[in-house]
Amino acid sequence: MGAKVILACRSKDRAEEAIRAILWESGSKIKPSQLEFWPLDVSSLQSVGDFAAAFQEKAGHKGLDILINNAGVMLNERRLTS
């Protein structure tokens, strides 16, 4: 298992919690250095742009093998995001 996994999350605390859970579940199969938190709020165009620029700079030359998009949506009342 030599994959590098970027957890693109809005909440650093929840990302770190997920990283701890992944490491615990995997035993010693995954190294902490393989998991990395990057901030991303998909409701913010600025955040998306910042993430894309950081990815291009740090990992763009390696490409992207798999993308799992798990952003939740709660439809309640209509409002505009940035």
The mean pLDDT of the chain is 87
Residues 47-72: tens digit of each pLDDT: 999 999 999 998 877 888 887 777 66
What's the confidence (pLDDT) of residue 51? 94
Is residue 77 very low, low, confident or very high in pLDDT (cuts 50, 70, 90)?
confident
Q: Is 48 in a helix, a strand, or coil?
A: helix
Q: Tokens 């949506």 sit at which residue?
A: 73
- Do 37 and 12 contact (CB within 8 A), yes or no? yes
Question: Tell me, what's the pLDDT at 73?
Answer: 67
pTM for the whole structure? 0.76
Residue type, 5: V
Domain span including residue 61:
1-82
Say how many domains are in the chain. Answer: 1
What pLDDT is attached to residue 1? 59
